[in-house]
C-alpha cells in the first residue's frame, strides 16, 4: 500500500512539474507578473477616478470627444480579457474600462477595478431605455437611485409573499383582456441582499433602492444647462433640444425592454425613468466597497412605447455622444476627494 502511495505521489509531482514547465503556463505566469509590475507603477502615480461604460458605441463616443489623454508610458493594461486604459480627462487621472453587457460583467469589472487600482470613485455611463413620458430620446439622466428589477419570486396564480416589494399579475395582460386564465400567475419583486465593508461579515441588509453618492449628485446639478446635440446628421434631428435631468430614478435587470406594457408597469410601480442592464450592479458593488459612485445615462429609445422598430439603432449614437459630453463635463468640475459617505436605502 505504501508503494502504491509513493507511486501516486511521484505521479502528482511529475504532473505538476510538467504543468509548470509547459510553455502555456510559463507565458501565463510571465504575463501575470508583467501586468502586476505595470499595475504597481500605475498605482504609484494614482489615485484615479474609475470610468466604466458598457459596449462599443458608448466607448466610441467617449474617445471621439478627444478629452481623454492616454498615459505616455503605460497607456493600458489588459486583465482577464479586458483593457483598462490609463490617462487624464481635464487633468483628472482616470482609468477607463468597457465592462460588457449585463449585470455579471458590470459587477465583475467594478470589483476588479477597485481591487487592482487605486480608485477614489466610479463614474458609470452609457445609454438606456426611457420609461418616463416626460423625458425624450437624447436626454441625459443622472439618477439619484436605482432598483434591481431582475429579482423576483415566481408565484402561483393569486399567490402572495409578504416579503415582496411589488407584484406583476401576468393575467392583467391577457389579450383579449380578462378572457381565460393565465397559468404564469404573478411575479413578486424581491429585495437586494446588500453586503458592505461597514456592515458585519456575512450579514447583509435587505434593500430596494441604492443611492448614488449625494455629494457627487449635488455637484452634477451644475450640469443641467449643458447644450446637448440634437441631430444625428444634417438630415436627421430630434424634434426638441435634449436636456440633462438630475435626481430621477433608474432600474436595472438582465433584460432589454422593448415592450410598452412592461415599460409602463416599471414606471407606474417604481417611478423609474432609465432602464438598463448594468447600473445597479456597478452601484451596489461600489457601495459595498465604500466607494463613491455616480451614474450617467443617455436615453436612446422608448423601451417599446414607439410605433414600429426600436429606434436605438438610429438614436443610440446620439444618446452616447450626449452621455460622453456630460461625463467629460462632470470630470471637469469634480474635485479630488477621498472620503464620501456611503448611502443606501
How high is the pLDDT of residue 274? 98
**Amino acid 339: pLDDT:** 43
DSSP 199-218: S-TT-PEEESEEEPPHHHHH
Q: What is the pLDDT of residue 110?
A: 98
In tens digits, the chain (345 residues) has pLDDT values of 556 666 666 666 556 566 555 665 454 566 666 678 899 999 999 899 999 999 999 999 999 999 999 999 999 999 999 999 999 999 999 999 999 999 999 999 999 999 999 999 999 999 999 999 999 999 999 999 999 999 888 887 778 888 888 888 888 888 777 677 777 778 888 888 999 988 889 999 989 999 999 999 999 999 999 999 999 998 999 999 999 999 999 999 999 999 999 999 999 999 999 999 999 999 999 999 999 999 999 999 999 999 888 889 999 999 999 999 999 999 999 987 544 444 545
Q: How far apart are CA 301 and CA 314, in angstroms?
A: 9
Q: Which of 285, 291, 281, 295 is nearest to 342 (CA)?
A: 291
pTM (two decimals): 0.86
DSSP, residue by residue, 25-66: HHHHHHHHHHHHHHHHHHHHT--EEEEEE-SHHHHHHHHHT-
Which residue intervals of the chain bear CATH 3.40.50.1580? Answer: 24-151+191-333
DSSP state at residue 227: P
Parallel, antiparallel, or unpaired: how do β-strands 166-169 and 192-194 relate? unpaired
CA distance 284 to 291: 10
The residues pairing with 100 across neighbouring beta strands, listed in sequence order, are none
Superfamily name and number for 24-151+191-333: Nucleoside phosphorylase domain (3.40.50.1580)
CB-CB contact of 100 with 54 (8 Å): yes
The cell numbers describing 315, all together, are 438614436
Q: What DSSP character marks residue 228?
A: P
pLDDT of residue 19: 55
pLDDT score for 340: 46
**Contacting residues for 162 by C-beta, under 8 A, at least 6 apart:** none
Residue 100 has which C-alpha cell?
A: 460588457
The Cα 108–Cα 211 span in angstroms is 20
Predicted pLDDT at 4: 63
Amino acid at each position: 500500500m505504501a508503494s502504491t502511495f509513493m507511486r501516486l505521489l511521484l505521479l502528482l509531482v511529475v504532473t505538476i512539474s510538467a504543468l509548470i514547465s509547459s510553455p502555456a503556463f510559463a507565458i501565463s505566469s510571465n504575463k501575470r507578473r508583467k501586468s502586476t509590475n505595470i499595475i504597481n507603477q500605475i498605482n504609484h502615480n494614482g489615485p484615479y477616478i474609475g470610468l466604466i461604460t458598457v459596449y462599443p458605441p458608448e466607448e466610441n463616443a467617449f474617445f471621439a470627444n478627444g478629452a481623454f489623454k492616454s498615459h505616455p508610458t503605460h497607456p493600458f493594461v489588459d486583465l482577464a480579457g479586458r483593457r483598462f486604459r490609463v490617462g487624464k480627462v481635464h487633468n483628472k487621472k482616470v482609468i477607463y474600462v468597457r465592462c460588457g453587457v449585463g449585470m455579471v460583467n458590470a459587477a465583475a469589472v467594478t470589483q476588479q477595478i477597485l481591487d487592482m487600482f487605486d480608485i477614489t470613485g466610479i463614474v458609470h455611463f452609457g445609454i438606456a431605455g426611457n420609461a418616463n413620458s416626460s423625458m425624450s430620446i437624447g436626454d441625459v439622466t443622472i439618477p439619484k437611485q436605482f432598483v434591481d428589477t431582475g429579482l423576483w419570486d415566481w408565484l402561483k396564480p393569486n399567490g402572495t409573499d409578504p416579503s415582496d416589494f411589488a407584484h406583476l399579475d401576468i393575467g392583467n395582460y391577457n389579450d383579449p383582456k380578462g378572457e381565460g386564465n393565465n397559468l404564469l400567475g404573478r411575479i413578486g419583486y424581491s429585495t437586494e441582499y446588500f453586503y458592505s465593508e461597514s456592515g458585519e461579515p456575512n450579514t447583509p441588509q435587505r434593500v430596494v433602492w441604492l443611492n448614488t453618492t449625494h455629494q457627487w449628485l449635488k455637484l452634477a446639478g451644475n450640469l443641467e444647462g449643458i447644450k446637448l446635440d440634437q441631430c444625428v446628421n444634417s438630415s436627421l434631428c430630434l424634434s426638441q433640444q435634449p436636456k440633462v435631468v438630475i435626481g430621477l430614478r433608474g432600474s436595472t435587470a438582465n433584460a432589454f425592454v422593448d415592450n410598452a406594457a412592461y415599460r409602463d408597469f416599471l414606471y407606474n410601480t417604481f417611478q423609474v425613468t432609465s432602464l438598463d442592464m448594468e447600473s445597479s450592479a456597478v452601484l451596489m458593488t461600489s457601495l459595498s466597497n465604500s466607494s463613491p459612485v455616480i451614474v450617467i445615462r443617455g436615453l436612446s429609445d422608448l423601451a417599446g412605447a414607439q410605433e414600429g422598430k426600436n429606434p436605438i439603432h438610429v438614436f443610440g449614437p446620439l444618446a452616447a455622444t450626449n452621455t460622453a459630453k456630460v461625463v467629460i463635463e462632470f470630470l471637469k468640475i469634480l474635485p479630488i476627494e477621498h472620503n464620501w459617505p456611503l448611502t443606501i436605502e
